[in-house]
Amino acid sequence: MKVKFKNEGSNIIVSFEDLINRQLDLSHVTDLRNRFKSTLAKKSKIITLDFGAVDYIDSAIIGFIVDSFNLIRNNEGELKIINVNRNVFEIFEMINLTKFLDIRKR
């Protein structure tokens, strides 16, 4: 898995590449936590996760996203998820994450 961070002013766009079966799951969580550590600690940033390359997620990723969301919120930042496919969007919808985060479909 490759994770790309693109800075555009206060906006940081994060995209994923080389995901096996286009799936983001428990096996990536430790890696993701390490890579996001410094980004999440920044103040007043709008972090956008581009899910263009993600078709499937599991509960561990939901946990990671909400955990990150809570951290960003404490730092007066904002978390957005864009390019979300139908499957993933339905999961976010079912747990009502769509009511807390700006989540946009593909």
Partner 1 sequence: MKIRDIHISLKYKIAIFISLLIFILFFLTNYIILKRERNMLYENLIVKGNSQINNFALYCENAFLTGDELNIEDYVTVLIKAKEVKHVYIVLKNLTYFLNNDQTLLGRRYSSPEKTGENPKENYNIVKREREVLFQFYKPIYQINREGKRVFLGMGYIELTTNIIKIQLNQIKLRLSFIVIFLLTAGVIGAFMLSYLITDPLKKLVKGISIIAKGNLKYKIRIHSKDEIEGLALEFNRMTTQLATYQKRLIKQKMVEQELQIAKNIQSEIIPEHLKEIKNFDLFSFHRTSRAIGGDYHNIFPINKNENLLIIADVSGKGVPASLLMSMFHTIIITLKKDYHRPILLMKEINNIMSLFLKKGNFITVLIAHLNSKTGRIKMISAGHEYPALIDMKKKQFTFLTFGGIPVGLFNRAEFESKLKINEHLLLKESMLIFYTDGLRNIQKMPMNNKNLASFFKSLIKTSGSSHKFRKALLEKTEMKRYNDDITIVGIRRT
Dihedrals φ, ψ of 2, to 5°? -110, 140
Rounded least distance, CB 58 to partner 1, Å? 8
Asked if residue 72 lies in contact with residue 47, where contact means CB atoms within 8 angstroms, the answer is yes
* 64 touching partner 1, by CB under 8 A: yes
Q: Which of 59, 102, 105, 106 binds partner 1 (CB under 8 A)?
A: 59
Find the part of the chain contacting partner 1 (CB under 8 A) among 8-16, 38-46, 76-84, 94-102: 94-102
Q: Which of 17, 31, 90, 102 binds partner 1 (CB under 8 A)?
A: 90
95: Cβ contacts below 8 Å, ≥ 6 apart? 62
Q: How far apart are CA 18 and CA 12, in angstroms?
A: 20
Q: 7 or 59: whose CB is closer to partner 1?
A: 59
